[in-house]
């Protein structure tokens, strides 16, 4: 079985590689449209025309576009994403510093979304046909109308400003520092044995992760409910009922197992979106991750960072989709045998 799964993973990676190449072309082309001139931005105002021309040649801007793309791609494959115009540091290093924070945040967001969404979906399903269904339904439509960045602001207002319960800026209190081992803060706290910092890091993570999760929860709830509605009419469910299995057990043991599969595959797509949602949430919570880096770069028109961050976001989404596909195949024996 593991060999079979390995084969599937390799096949998916083989599909992902040309996709990633196309992504890089797309990023390159879009950012070539940019009205700002990268040469002018990195020159002092008193530069002469000869200086500008020299820099253009140095940056390869006199070459045909496809040639420029080939050079750019070659550098990326060597791990060179260029230098940030604003910070003067290699983009690779800047992204490497901020990516662990984003991964940590997105992982917690996904965890919260699952922990709230799945029981919520079952609840929604159990309430079918009851008078309270309408109220819960309208409630979930209302929740669907609140994107994560508004949740982020709303949670700050309630838990940060009004009740002052939780912090909402950064990953740690300003007077606390943790030596960098892996870049993943929670892991570093544990590795250095600093449990106070660990708890603080969790406290700082709660609101942004919850904001991310709340943007996804109603979708998971609705998805699970409609999957449950689909399987509840199946023969094996009826059979279980006829055997006198209690309703709760029918739902939890018989229906849920099969209803979870389509939910799981769509949750993968949602977690890809959730990863993108970190962008705004990080900005709002001054969270030093990839999204914050990218929005800052957008404001400064810092092209190399924008390109690098966009590529990493796309790579992350493809990786998440791949991971979910693999989990899907592992938990779904039907699919496994069919291949």
Partner 1 sequence: MSAAAVAGENPLRRALRSGRVVVGGSILLILLFCAVAAPLIAPYDPNEQDLLNALKGPFWSDNAEPGFWLGTDNLGRDTLSRLIYGTRVALFVAVCAAVGTMLFGTMLALLAGYFGGVVDWIISRAVDLWMSFPPVVLSLILIVGFGVGIGNVILAIILVDWTRFCRVVRSEVLVIRRQNYVDAARLSGFSHLRTMVREVLPAAAPLIITLMSLEMGIAVIVEAILSFVGMSVEASIPAWGVMIADARNYMYQSAWGLVLPILAIVTTVLAFNLLGDGLRRTFDARLQQH
Instruction: Identify the residue among 107, 276, 323, 327 touching partner 1 (CB under 8 A).
Output: 276
Question: Which of the stretches 53-61, 90-98, 185-193, 274-282 binds partner 1 when contact is defined by CB under 8 A?
Answer: 274-282
- Please identify, using beta-carbon distances, which residue of 92 and 313 lies nearer to partner 1: 313
DSSP string covering 204-265, please? HHHHHHHHHHHHHHHHHHHHHHHHHHHHTTSHHHHHHHHTT--HHHIIIIIIHHHHHHHHHH
Question: Which of the stretches 64-72, 108-116, 198-206, 295-303 binds partner 1 when contact is defined by CB under 8 A?
Answer: 295-303
CB of 49 to partner 1, least distance (A): 25
**Which of helix, strand or coil describes residue 171?**
coil
Q: Is 308 exposed, middle or buried (0-12, 13-18, 19+ CB in 10 A)?
A: buried
- Who contacts 73 (Cβ-Cβ below 8 Å, separation ≥6)? 21, 24
Please name the residue that has the structure tokens 């910070």.
87
Residue span 299-328 as binding mask against partner 1, x where in contact by CB under 8 A, dash where not? x-x----x--xx--xx--xx--x-------
Which residues within the stretch 33-72 sit at the binding site for partner 1 (CB under 8 A)?
33-35
Say if residues 189 and 178 touch (Cβ distance below 8 Å): yes
- Interface with partner 1 (CB under 8 A), residue total 51
153 touches partner 1 (CB under 8 A):
yes
State the Cα–Cα distance between residues 22 and 32, nearest whole angstrom.
15
136 touches partner 1 (CB under 8 A):
no
Instruction: Identify the residue among 161, 242, 244, 337 touching partner 1 (CB under 8 A).
Output: 161
195-to-189, 203, 256 alpha-carbon distances in Å: 7, 12, 38
Residues that bind partner 1 (CB under 8 A): 19-20, 22-23, 26-27, 30-35, 128, 141-142, 144-147, 149-150, 153-154, 156-157, 161-162, 229, 269, 272-273, 275-277, 279-280, 283-284, 294-295, 298-299, 301, 306, 309-310, 313-314, 317-318, 321
């Amino acid at each position: 079985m593991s060999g079979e799964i390995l084969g599937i993973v390799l096949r998916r990676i083989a599909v992902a590689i040309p996709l990633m190449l196309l992504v890089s072309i797309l990023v390159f082309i879009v950012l070539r449209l940019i009205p700002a001139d990268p040469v002018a931005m990195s020159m002092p105002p008193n530069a002469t025309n000869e200086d500008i021309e020299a820099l253009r040649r140095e940056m390869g801007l006199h070459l045909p576009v496809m040639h420029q793309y080939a050079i750019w791609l070659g550098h990326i494959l060597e791990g060179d994403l260029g230098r940030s115009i604003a910070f003067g540091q290699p983009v690779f290093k800047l992204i490497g510093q901020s990516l662990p924070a984003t991964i940590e945040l997105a992982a917690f967001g996904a965890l919260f979304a699952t922990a709230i969404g799945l029981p919520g979906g079952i609840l929604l399903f159990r309430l079918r046909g009851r008078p309270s269904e309408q109220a819960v339904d309208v409630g979930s439509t209302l929740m669907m109308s609140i994107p994560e960045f508004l949740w982020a602001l709303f949670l700050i207002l309630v838990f940060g400003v009004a009740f002052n319960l939780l912090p909402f800026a950064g990953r740690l209190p300003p007077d606390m520092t943790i030596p960098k081992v892996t870049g993943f803060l929670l892991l570093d706290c544990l590795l250095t044995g600093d449990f106070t910092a660990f708890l603080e890091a969790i406290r700082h993570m709660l609101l942004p992760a919850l904001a991310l999760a709340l943007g996804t929860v109603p979708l998971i709830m609705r998805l699970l409910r409609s999957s449950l509605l689909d399987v509840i009419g199946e023969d094996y469910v009826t059979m279980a009922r006829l055997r006198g299995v209690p309703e709760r057990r029918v739902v939890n043991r018989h229906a849920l197992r099969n209803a979870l599969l389509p939910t799981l595959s769509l949750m993968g797509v949602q977690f890809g979106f959730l990863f993108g949602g970190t962008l705004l949430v990080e900005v709002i919570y001054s969270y030093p991750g990839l999204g914050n880096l990218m929005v800052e770069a957008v404001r400064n028109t810092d092209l190399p960072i924008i390109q690098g961050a966009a590529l990493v976001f796309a790579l992350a989404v493809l990786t998440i989709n791949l991971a979910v596909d693999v989990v899907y195949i592992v938990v779904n024996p039907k699919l496994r045998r069919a291949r």
